[in-house]
Amino acid sequence: MSTEPGLWALDVVCLRHCTRYTVLMTRPPRRIIEEVIFDDLGPLSARELLAMSRDGWESLRAGITDHRHGKTGLVARCIACHGKVYITTAQGRPLFSHYQGSDPRCPWYTGRNMHPNDARAAQYLGKQESETHRRMCELIAELCALDERCEGVAVDEYLPPTENATGRYPDVLASWRDFGQFAVEYQMSHTFQTEVSQRCIHYEREGIPLLWVLSSFDPARVPQPVSDVVHRHRGNAFVLDRAAIAWSAPTEVVHELG
Ligand SMILES: [Zn+2]
């Protein structure tokens, strides 16, 4: 990429003016996507994204992910390679990132190379996490069953579709007297946003209310996946932590602390 000592060439495609130009820089290119263009909303720079309110950029983020999963949503593209991008976070601040499989020749490309040790570590953590997740779902079901309004509850059982092509396995599916069925998804801090979006779309189509229950909530330190769920619940966080479980069991009513 270096053209002459101390200068780096950066090829940029400007979609607003349909031109390709080369920028000479005195520093190596920073590997962040500096500007994107939304199909319907127009361009947005990384700087503008940073200046947006959390609610603003989370709406964009949710729109992009929704589109990825077949809903109308939003499409944003890197202005350098025209590849589709999404909004991720680093230290709680939003930034654009290419979807996997983007053009490695893009000057703002950041490849993902996982060290074998890291892959093993991720697999191990995933296994630990799924066991905890399963246990928590069973606990939610047990707490539901204690409530006299509960007419039935199932954990991780196949729910055949009525509107979608395929069904899903809701974490917990409860039938409530005078209310009907609702699904509960239990989110630990590492559930990915793609999953959040997919599940929301699925249950919305099926007409089944979906309640996200979080493993913990610390307003001072909110991981992005948690914040996505809170955003989709209009700013509410439902938490089933130790205090809520202790409170629910003796009174035989399921409470979620907001
Ligand atoms: Zn790009």
How does pLDDT run across 143-194, given as a tens digit for each residue? 899 889 999 999 988 898 888 888 888 999 999 999 999 999 887 655 555 6
Region of poorest pLDDT, from 9-13, 32-36, 44-48, 202-206: 9-13
Confidence of residue 94 (pLDDT cuts 50, 70, 90): very high
Measure 108 CA to ligand 1 centroid, in angstroms: 5
The pLDDT, as a whole number, for residue 207 is: 92
Measure 110 CA to ligand 1 centroid, in angstroms: 9
Question: Beta strand 172-176 with 180-187: parallel, antiparallel or unpaired?
Answer: antiparallel
Measure 29 CA to ligand 1 centroid, in angstroms: 13
- Domain formed by 116-251, architecture: 3-Layer(aba) Sandwich (3.40)
Confidence of residue 60 (pLDDT cuts 50, 70, 90): very high
Overall pTM > 0.75: no
Measure 20 CA to ligand 1 centroid, in angstroms: 13
- Whether the per-residue pLDDT at 117 is higher than 50: the answer is no
Measure 79 CA to ligand 1 centroid, in angstroms: 6
The pLDDT, as a whole number, for residue 116 is: 37
The pLDDT, as a whole number, for residue 194 is: 60
Average pLDDT over residues 106-122: 54
Measure 137 CA to ligand 1 centroid, in angstroms: 40
Average pLDDT over residues 90-109: 82
Measure 3 CA to ligand 1 centroid, in angstroms: 20
Measure 27 CA to ligand 1 centroid, in angstroms: 19
- Domain locations along the chain: 2-98, 116-251
Q: Ligand 1 (ion): which residues have CB within 5 A? A: 78, 80-81, 83, 106, 108
Measure 130 CA to ligand 1 centroid, in angstroms: 34
* Share above pLDDT 70 across residues of the chain, in percent, rounded to a whole number: 69
The pLDDT, as a whole number, for residue 59 is: 94
Measure 8 CA to ligand 1 centroid, in angstroms: 17
Average pLDDT, the chain: 76
The pLDDT, as a whole number, for residue 257 is: 41
Measure 87 CA to ligand 1 centroid, in angstroms: 13
* Share above pLDDT 90 across residues of the chain, in percent, rounded to a whole number: 25
